[in-house]
Amino acid sequence: MKQLSGPELHAHQTAPGAAALLLLDVREDWEVQLAPVTVSGLRCVHIPMNEIPAHLAELDPAQPVVCICHHGARSAQVVAFLERQGFDAVYNLAGGSDAWSMQVDSSVPRY
């Protein structure tokens, strides 16, 4: 499984000519409302983990995807699922929104 740290994702997004990534937030609605994560230049999509199979057709297997949850466990499960569905460029954001808050953007509330 491929992983990116928060600082690696931030560096990627600030690099000239960076490939377009999709940030797939697999947290529950209340978590996204409590601590929204936005990454400049990334299209963000929120689909709770248990709804991913029903929304699979909405995701493009050719688009690189970075999955995020609270600490990285649920998003790792989604990455494994997407890899089994033929997604090649799918990454887990190591440490999730909590690590993002501590390492990159302290304005994201920790919970």
CATH of the domain at 20: 3.40.250.10
- What's the total number of domains in the chain? 1
Q: Which among 69, 93, 94, 108 is annotated as catalytic?
A: 69
Q: pLDDT tens for residues 51-99?
A: 999 999 999 999 999 999 999 999 999 999 999 999 999 999 999 999 9
Q: Specify if 110 maps to a domain.
A: no
Q: Considering the entire predicted model, what is its pTM?
A: 0.94
Domain ranges, residue 36: 2-103
For 39-79, the DSSP string reads -TT-EEEE--GGGTGGGGGGS-TTS-EEEE-SSSHHHHHHH
Q: Specify if 109 maps to a domain.
A: no
Q: pLDDT tens for residues 10-58?
A: 998 888 877 789 999 999 999 999 999 988 888 999 999 999 999 999 9
Q: Specify if 65 maps to a domain.
A: yes
pLDDT score recorded for residue 79: 98
pLDDT score recorded for residue 3: 97
**CA 87 to chain CA centroid, nearest Å:** 14
For this structure, is 69 an active site residue? yes
